[in-house]
């Protein structure tokens, strides 16, 4: 399903639930789809007569779509990234301490 079709199906789902589809409601359902596509999809949905709503695919929430292994890093990758970030944090803390000491020395 293309992003625009995903937006249109989300708008249909919102309308079927008795609410008026809006950019905010659709954005909450579809997640990381760019705003211009959401606006375009909403405009297309509003232009459709209710009789054509049956041709729109049912909305599938992003978390219900199949998740591949590439989308979630392994624990080893996360642990490695955490170690790198911890090293960077320690280096930054050392630099801040050095700069603070230099400021103190200049003030005296």
Find the domain containing 92 and state its range. 73-107
Whether 58 and 77 share a structural domain: no
Whether residues 99 and 48 fall in one domain = no
Can you tell me the distance from the alpha carbon of 27 to that of 41, in angstroms, rounded to the nearest whole number? 11
pLDDT one-digit tens code per residue, 11-43: 999 999 999 999 999 999 898 889 999 999 999
pLDDT in tens, 90-100: 999 999 999 99
Look up the pTM and report it: 0.56
Residue 33 near residue 62, CB atoms below 8 Å: no
> Based on the domain organization, do 51 and 94 belong to the same domain?
no
Residues 95 and 49 in one domain: no
Please state the domain count of the chain: 2
Query: By CB neighbour count within 10 A (0-12 exposed, 13-18 middle, 19+ buried), where does 21 fall?
Result: buried
CA dist 43 and 66 (Å) reads 28
Residues 98 and 54 in one domain: no
Structure token pair of residue 48: 């459709």
Residues 17 and 60 in one domain: yes
Distance CA 9, CA 57 (A): 6
């Amino acid at each position: 399903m293309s992003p625009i079709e995903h937006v249109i199906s989300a708008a249909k789902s919102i309308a079927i639930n008795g609410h008026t589809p809006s950019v905010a409601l659709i954005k909450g359902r579809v997640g990381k789809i760019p705003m211009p596509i959401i606006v375009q999809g909403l405009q297309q949905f509003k232009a459709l007569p209710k009789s054509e709503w049956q041709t729109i695919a049912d909305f599938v929430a992003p978390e219900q779509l199949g998740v591949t292994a590439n989308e979630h890093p392994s624990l080893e990758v996360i642990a490695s990234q955490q170690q790198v970030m911890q090293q960077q944090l320690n280096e930054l803390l050392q630099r801040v301490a050095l700069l603070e000491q230099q400021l103190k020395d200049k003030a005296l």
